[in-house]
Amino acid sequence: MAKSNSTRRRRHSREIVDAKEAVDLATAQSYSENVFLFVPNLIGKLPPILYHPVYCTLLYGVSCLLDAVDGMAARALGQTSKFGAVLDMVTDRCTTSCLLCYLSTAYPQYSLFFQFLIALDFSSHYMHMYSSLVTGSTSHKLVTSEVSRILWMYYNDSRTLFFVCAGNELFFVCLYLMKWISTPSGLPFLEKWTYPELLAVPTFFIFALKNIINVVQLWKASKILVGVDLAERAAARVEASRKTESDEKQ
């Protein structure tokens, strides 16, 4: 109960900014503190060129590497922002979705599966972000082990986060390159396999882990939102009961 009250106090102590006031502040922001131009918000936002294997792979790789350092840059430069956190998540989802849309055309027999992955990726991250907001969290990465141990391990260790995300993206890149590269590797016992095919095997297990995490994230976020609904409905019933008692006494 004390923990619940403490959480409630933290939520109410946060300053609430009116939407119109926020728009005016963003419009009038100075060049020296323009959140849109913060260095971390400009890092790693490279769109993929899906119809050229060399350019696509290079840009995708650079984008993923820069995505790993934008958080460190934000903290080092004192440029952390809510806009940057959301922008980072949105651009990641959009970039991955673009690649999955291409893979749907490259592997039409698996198009429904790739569509499912897009839907799971967007829904799990949106639900997780929204559940973080309604519970008063300052970041979607602040997950406690009491809520979910697997999400806690995923978000609270930057090395694990990078390894899983990079491995997942690398698996998709391998699928992409498999449509362009047909030259055998020539390696002993694996001479008929191409390099993208060889790399796709180990990264498949990371891809599987990432999507298990997405499912857990979606389920936990759904339970949090339902729990918030139940708490608000219970509070409304108590308030209605108090009002009824007050009216009867009068």
Name residue 237's amino acid.
Answer: R
Q: Would you say residue 9 lies in a domain?
A: no
> Measuring CA to CA, how many Å separate 120 from each of 88, 89, 97, 111, 219?
18, 14, 11, 14, 11
Domain harbouring 96, CATH code: 1.20.120
Total structural domains within the chain: 1
Euclidean distance between CA atoms 126 and 148, whole angstroms: 17
Q: Would you say residue 122 lies in a domain?
A: yes
For residue 17, give the DSSP letter.
P
What is residue 51's predicted lDDT score, i.e. its pLDDT?
66
Structural domain including 124 reads 34-137+146-248
pTM (predicted TM-score): 0.79
What is residue 48's predicted lDDT score, i.e. its pLDDT?
60
Question: What dihedral angle (degrees, nearest 10) is formed by the CA atoms of 74, 77, 62, 154?
Answer: -30
- pLDDT by residue for the chain (250 residues), tens only, comes to 444 444 444 444 456 777 888 888 888 887 677 887 777 777 656 556 566 777 777 777 777 767 667 777 777 777 777 787 788 888 888 888 989 999 999 999 999 999 999 999 999 999 999 999 889 887 888 888 899 999 999 999 888 998 999 899 999 999 999 999 999 988 888 888 999 999 999 999 999 999 999 999 999 999 999 999 999 999 999 999 888 888 777 7
Is 67 designated active site?
A: no
Q: Would you say residue 235 lies in a domain?
A: yes
- Cα 136 versus chain centre, distance: 18
What is residue 50's predicted lDDT score, i.e. its pLDDT?
62
Name the active-site residue from 88, 92, 121, 229.
Answer: 92
For residue 146, give the DSSP letter.
T
What is residue 9's predicted lDDT score, i.e. its pLDDT?
41
What is residue 139's predicted lDDT score, i.e. its pLDDT?
80
Euclidean distance between CA atoms 169 and 57, whole angstroms: 11
Euclidean distance between CA atoms 169 and 204, whole angstroms: 10
Q: Would you say residue 3 lies in a domain?
A: no
For residue 31, give the DSSP letter.
G
Q: Would you say residue 13 lies in a domain?
A: no
Q: Would you say residue 125 lies in a domain?
A: yes
Cβ distance 114 to 103 under 8 Å?
Answer: yes
Q: Would you say residue 14 lies in a domain?
A: no
Q: Would you say residue 67 lies in a domain?
A: yes
> Residue 49's closest CA among 91, 106, 102?
102
